[in-house]
Structure 1
Amino acid sequence: MSGHEPIVVVVGAETPGNVGTIARAMKNFGLSNLKLVDPPPLDPDGEAYGFAGHAREDVLPNAEEISFEEVVTTYHTVGCTAITGEDSRRHRRFPYTTPGELAETLQTVDSRTAIVFGREGRGLYNEEIEQLDQICSIPASDDYPVLNLGQAATIVLYELRDLTVDETQLPDREHERAAEADIERFYDYFAEFLDAQRYNDRKREKTQRLMRRLIGRAHPTGREIHTLLGVLRQATEQLEHRQALLDRYDEPDRFGGDTASDGDADRTGDGA
């Protein structure tokens, strides 16, 4: 976002606890600038600070009161609402973006941006929404789309985390695909495995193609592909050993010829 950290604006909050919850969500997702329009009293010993977690140390005590008019004239504004217009004929609440789409659009905004949340009961009034630049809405059940103010803010700020958080507590998930030579060797081993189990020739080509598509989508790591190679190699060796034993015992002269036929011939001769 061109170096501009979004600010969070809460308009007409009725419950101090929700302000504290929003401050905590801001702390979780790397935002620090909280502005309040007509806020309730925020007692340092009250529920706002009790709900704020570590945000009681900086985000909440540094929150500033501001007028709605100042928000509109100072910032690129994004209003958050559960109720949107039904179609393009109603431009007060339409068009709208989801929080995920909002994160993408703000990547290109070279401006100070305010994410604006409304009241617990009624949200932002229509006359307020008319003055905002963008509308954001969280997809939810059509039967009950209205979220608690603190919940809604947490979801939106979570989706914006790529704009505000350089590093998280999670380990790096960069995925290193196995060397193509090792993956091709896996396909060769798979072909040998099919040979060892005497796989149906009519299905063989389709099955090998299916395996190639599956591994191609999975992007296995080097460790994963070497583990699979080991499993296939061991399974193939066991199948080959088993088949060798079966072939050995199927040989006609395994016990010196067809003994049953020889016995029958001798008995027939004795009888003659």
Structure 2
Amino acid sequence: MSGPAEDSGESETESRDESETESRDDADTHRNPVVVIVEPETPGNVGTIARAMKNFGLDDLKLVNPPELHEDGEAYGFAGHAREDVLPNADEVTFEEIVENYHTVGTTAITGEDDRSHERFPFKTPAALRESLATVDAQTAIVFGREGRGLNNDELSRLDEVCSIPADDEYPVLNLGQAATVLLYELRDLTVEETQLPDAEVIRAAEPDIERFHKYFDEFLASTGQREHHREKNALLMRRLLGRAHPTEREVHSLLGTFRKANAKLEHADHLAAKYDEPVYPRE
């Protein structure tokens, strides 16, 4: 009797440990937000948003009272590769369902200036929203409104947070598709694991090649006949410039070739001037 009981206890413990580990793993996995469009009027904008979602690693699109989206219409025409999955898999939902089941972020171009306008204040910029969502484990819905009117105050008052894209004060209203693209781009660090860009934007040339360039540049400065303190200053300025620029191997090799030829020609000119007793190039 004791044997089976002990085995059973160990099995339950192992099962509990595995369950806890899975729960921790699930908590560590960031859940991508869903995108909601409330009463879109133009199928083309729905397609544009679906395409932006595809660009930035999102696939769950939900539509509140949408127009008809025909496979040969604007929505599919504007969706690009999102016509293959994001758009045909979009769910038609109610505003109530979104409010009841998600942590919601409403988008608006017009914000309140202070806390007397509770519907549109306080608000986050897309960058601030990205930082906030990165630290929270919650299923989030990014909610966009109608093309002409956006989300009204009653709708915004039922959403948890408000986000607004900083734009020129004289004309802050973006096209619906543009606004969604900008916002989803800012959230890309949360939704895109790997981009088409290389990890390093610049591969700096090898330091011996850069130092060889500085040697050629010093010789060039000496050939121009500048006073020594001017040469030292210009050499230092060039060193600081290249230090900030992080030149690539190809760029440095091109400069090396240019200054090598320039120095050879200046040396040849000095040789001819001395041989034929001609004045050298005017110097300071």
TM above 0.5:
yes
**Structure 1, 146-155 or 84-93: larger mean CA deviation:** 84-93
Secondary structure of 2:166's aligned partner: coil
Q: Secondary structure at the match of 1:92?
A: helix
- Could you say which residue in structure 1 is the equivalent of 2:217? 190
Counterpart in the other structure of 1:80: 107
Q: 1:102 aligns with which of 126, 129, 135?
A: 129
Matched, 1:113 2:113: no
Alignment of 1:209-224 (within 5 A): 209-224=236-251
Could you list the runs of 5+ residues in structure 1 that have no partner in the other structure? 252-272
Say if 1:2 and 1:109, in contact at 8 Å, map to a contact too: no
Structure 2 vs 1, CA of residues 183 and 47 (structure 1 numbering), >3 Å: closer, same or farther?
A: closer
* 1:247 to 2:274 alignment: yes
Select between 68-77 and 113-122 the one with higher mean Cα deviation: 68-77
Shift of 1:182: 2.6
CA distance in 2, matches of 1:213, 1:91: 51
Mapped partners of 2:88, 2:183: distance in 1: 22
Pair 1:169–1:179, CA change in 2 (3 A) = closer
Q: Secondary structure, in 3 states, of the residue corresponding to 2:130?
A: helix
Report deviation, 1:90.
4.0
Shift of 1:221: 1.7
> Separation in 1 of the partners of 2:128 and 2:205?
33
Contact 2:38-2:145 within 8 A present in 1 as well:
yes
In the alignment, residue 141 of structure 2 is paired with which amino acid? A
CA contact (8 A) 2:35 2:142 kept: yes
Structure 1 pair 245–215 and aligned structure 2 pair: CA distance change class (3 A): same
Partner SS for 1:239 = helix
Corresponding residue number in structure 2 for 1:10 = 37
- Give the paired residue count: 251
Deviates more, 1:166-175 or 1:191-200: 166-175
1:21 and 2:48 are equivalent in the alignment: yes
SS of match in other structure, 1:115: strand
Letter in 2 for 1:35: K
The SS at the match of 1:97 is coil
Answer yes or no: is 1:132 the counterpart of 2:131.
Answer: no
**TM-aligned CA deviation for residue 46 of structure 1:** 4.0
Residue 177 (structure 2) aligns with: 150
TM-score (norm 2): 0.77
Alpha-carbon contact 2:30-2:190 (below 8 Å) kept? no
Gaps of 5+ in 2: 1-27, 279-284
1:35 Cα offset (Å)? 1.0
* In 2: Cα distance, 1:123 partner to 1:222 partner: 51
Q: CA deviation at 1:34?
A: 0.4
Aligned-partner Cα distance in 2 for 1:95–1:219: 42
The structure 2 residue matched to 1:164, chosen from 179, 191, 209, is 191
**Alignment counterpart, residue 34 of structure 1, candidates 61, 78, 84:** 61
| One of 166, 178, 200 as aligned partner of 2:205 | 178
Q: Which secondary structure does the structure 1 equivalent of 2:37 belong to?
A: strand
2: CA distance, partners of 1:94 / 1:15: 28
Which residue in 1 is equivalent to 2:88?
A: 61
TM-score (norm 1): 0.80
Q: What letter corresponds to residue 221 of structure 2 in structure 1?
A: L
Aligned-partner Cα distance in 1 for 2:240–2:170: 40
* Aligned residue type for 1:65: E
